[in-house]
Structure 1
Amino acid sequence: MSLKNTAERWGSVSQLLHWTIAVLILAIGTVGLVMGELPRSPKWFWVYTLHKSLGLTVLALVLVRIAWRLYAGACPPVPGTPRWQARLASLTHAAIYGLILAMPLSGWLYDSASGLRPFRWFGLAEVPKLSPPNEALAGAMHSTHELLFWVLLALVAGHAGAALYHHFIRRDATLARMLPRGWIATPTRSPPEDSA
């Protein structure tokens, strides 16, 4: 498999970054949904630190992914994809990238403005504050962080649904080419070809 993207499939670097970020976002979202219910204890601080550390990891990885995409190019839509679907996919991808950047930044700004003690990324390095304590900013960033999560969740659900639609209904290689070769078979398209 090629490291770089080709006209037929996403390269191994793009695949690795895509699925790593997806799994981390799933983990962060799960932790984020349950951590508010935890009592204030040493475990609470550990869970919050884990949530923040994973969030900053995703921020770094999405910057790497954007740089890699600029370098390696994007895999074009599969032949026969209607223009409106290709355009919608491009807009969805751009929105997802923007949200994956904005979410950790809003969380980092919330943490900074809330006046909490500095945290260490996975216990290894102290994370600098982006703002002095500011209650109004902290409240706004907390609300923004939560809103961005739900918007991202809706877009990711649509993105996954579109991949499944392409695999099971349109029966093309859209999903298969974002997975390592041989993980799933590319469906055989039945004539007549759907041009909708």
Structure 2
Amino acid sequence: MNQRSDRYPLPMRLLHWMRATLILALIALGWAMTALPDSIAAKFEWMYPVHKEFGVLAFMTGAIALFVRHRSGVPPHPGGLARWETTLSTIVQYAMLALAMVVPLMGYGMSSSFSQSDGVPFFGLELPELLPKNDHAFAIFAWAHKTLAYTLLVLIALHVLGALKHRFLDRGRDADVLARML
């Protein structure tokens, strides 16, 4: 298949959809596990450990995506977009890239600093907890993790709505940004 110059390179497209799936699943699991009462054993036996493992995986995938993005570059914005749309798109994309890295780091900070922590598992490995145990720091990390995750979710919704707007409401194919990532 001939790669069009306006499409993102295949590795970037694959990493994009992998990160999108991971992040949305992590947010859903985060909502589910925090809504459960502490008396539910599954909350601590598997939900938190799975959330931590996939959070580390999301961070690693994000780091790889940033490396690939840096090496590959990105195609220019489609010509059919207004200047304000390209500016907003760029801001949202950079903010999502940053938050996709920072949110897992805040989660790691929570696990590492919490005095009652069971550690940070990663698919059979136990990652080192590099921060001192400090429940005040834990509370700050917890607030940042939650607030930034919600911020990321709002940006994801804006990103998806923008892509759908360009795909289905704008006139002409020269504004279809979704085709670049398919």
TM score, norm. by length of structure 1: 0.84
- Measured after TM superposition, the shift of residue 8 of structure 1 is 1.5
Alignment RMSD (CA, Å): 1.6
Partner deviation per Cα, 1:144-185 (whole Å, 9 max, x = no partner): 111001111110000000000100111433112211xxxxxx
Compare relative contact order (CA 8 Å, sep 6+) and give the higher one, 1 or 2. Answer: 2
Q: Secondary structure at the match of 2:69?
A: helix
> Are positions 1:98 and 2:101 aligned together?
no
- Measured after TM superposition, the shift of residue 79 of structure 1 is 1.5
Partner of 2:48: 48
Aligned residues: 176
Structure 2: runs of 5+ lacking an equivalent: none
- 1:1-196 matches, cutoff 5 A: 1=1, 7-36=5-34, 37-40=36-39, 42-44=41-43, 45-115=45-115, 116-122=117-123, 124-170=124-170, 171-172=172-173, 173-179=176-182
Q: Does 37-46 or 23-32 show the bigger shift?
A: 37-46
Identity rate, percent: 30
Instruction: Name the structure where helix makes up a greater proportion of residues.
Output: 2
Partner of 1:194: none
Structure 1: runs of 5+ lacking an equivalent: 180-196
Inter-CA distance 113–72: structure 2 relative to 1 (3 Å threshold): same
Output the amino acid matched with 1:103: V
- Measured after TM superposition, the shift of residue 7 of structure 1 is 3.0
Q: Secondary structure at the match of 1:55?
A: helix
User: Could you tell me whether the CA contact under 8 Å between 1:106 and 1:145 is conserved in 2?
Assistant: yes
CA distance in 2, matches of 1:107, 1:169: 38
TM score, norm. by length of structure 2: 0.91
CA distance in 2, matches of 1:63, 1:130: 19
CA distance in 2, matches of 1:121, 1:41: 23
User: Could you tell me whether the CA contact under 8 Å between 1:108 and 1:130 is conserved in 2?
Assistant: no
CA distance in 2, matches of 1:6, 1:31: 37
Q: Does 8-17 or 166-175 show the bigger shift?
A: 166-175
Output the amino acid matched with 2:90: S
